[in-house]
Amino acid sequence: MVKFLDLQKINAQYAAELKQVAADVIDSGWYLLGEQVKQFENNLEVFQEGGSAVAVANGLDALRLIFKAYIELGLMEEGDEIIVPANTYIASILAITDNKLKPVLVEPDFDTYNLDLNLIESKITSKTKAIMVVHLYGSVCWNEGLELLAKKYSLKVIEDNAQAIGARWKGIRTGNLGDAAGFSFYPGKNLGALGDSGAVTTKDPELAKTIRTLANYGSSQKYVNQYQGLNSRMDEMQAAFLNVKLRYLDDETLQRQKIAAYYLENIKNSKIILPKAGEVAEHVWHLFVIRTNNRNELQEFLSKNGVQTLIHYPTPPHLQECYIDFNDFSLPITEQIHNEVISLPISPVMTDEELELVINFLNEY
Ligand X SMILES: *Cc1c(COP(=O)(O)O)cnc(C)c1O
Instruction: Say whether residue 162 binds ligand X (CB under 6 A).
Output: yes
Q: Which of 52, 88, 210, 299 binds ligand X (CB under 6 A)?
A: 88
Which span sits near ligand X by CB under 6 A: 47-55, 89-97, 117-125, 220-228? Answer: 89-97
In the bound state with ligand X, the residue whose beta carbon lies nearer, of 88 and 292, is: 88
Interface residue with ligand X among 48, 112, 184, 257 (CB under 6 A) is 184
> Considering only 85-93, 120-128, 230-238, 295-303, which stretch makes contact with ligand X by CB under 6 A?
85-93
Q: Which stretch binds ligand X (CB under 6 A): 56-64, 75-83, 248-256, 265-273?
A: 56-64
> Which residue in the set 41, 160, 236, 354 belongs to the binding site for ligand X (CB under 6 A)?
160
Cβ at position 156, least distance to ligand X in Å: 17
* C-beta closer to ligand X: residue 40 or 354: 40
Using CA atoms in the order 315, 316, 322, 326, what is the torsion angle rounded to 10 degrees? -130
Residue 188: CB atoms within 10 A of its CB come to 15
Asked if residue 59 binds ligand X (CB under 6 A), the reply is yes
3-state secondary structure 253-289: HHHHHHHHHHHHHHCCCCCCECCCCCCCEECCCCCEE
Minimum gap (Å) between residue 134 Cβ and ligand X: 5
Q: What are phi and psi of 157, to 5 degrees?
A: -115, 120
Nearest residue (beta carbon) to ligand X = 59
Residue closer to ligand X by CB (options 59, 229) is 59
Please report whether residue 163 would count as binding ligand X according to CB under 6 A.
yes
Does 91 help bind ligand X (rule: CB under 6 A)? yes
d(CA 325, CA 320): 10
Question: What is the size of the binding site for ligand X (CB under 6 A)?
Answer: 15
> Least distance in Å: CB of 157 to ligand X?
16
137 binds ligand X (CB under 6 A): no
Integer angstrom CA distances of residue 71 from 64, 75, 175: 11, 6, 21
| CA 255 remoteness from chain centre | 19
Pick the closer one to ligand X by CB: 91 or 302.
91
Q: For residues 156 and 180, what is the distance between their CA atoms, to the nearest angstrom?
A: 8
Stretch that binds ligand X, among 110-118, 150-158, 160-168, 288-296 (CB under 6 A): 160-168
Q: Give the bridge partners for 85, in sequence order.
A: 106
Q: Where are the beta strands (DSSP E) in the chain?
A: 52-56, 81-85, 102-106, 128-134, 156-160, 168-169, 172-173, 180-184, 198-202, 281-282, 288-291, 341-344
User: Does 60 contact ligand X by CB under 6 A?
Assistant: yes
d(CA 285, CA 31): 33
| Tally of CB atoms within 10 A around 171 | 8
Shortest distance, position 363 Cβ to ligand X, whole Å: 30
Select from 183, 211, 205 the least CA-distant residue to 196. Answer: 183
Residue closer to ligand X by CB (options 65, 208) is: 65
In contact, 190 and 163? CB cutoff 8 Å = yes
Question: Least distance (Å) from ligand X to the CB of residue 16?
Answer: 26
Give the Cα separation of 17 and 247 in Å (integer). 12
Nearest distance in Å: CB 364, ligand X: 31
198 makes contact with ligand X (CB under 6 A): yes
The verdict on 92 binding ligand X (CB under 6 A) reads yes
> Please, what is the angle between helix 236-246 and helix 15-28, to 10°?
150
- For position 5 contacting ligand X by CB under 6 A, the verdict is no
Residues within the interface to ligand X (CB under 6 A): 58-60, 88-89, 91-92, 134, 160, 162-163, 184, 186, 196, 198
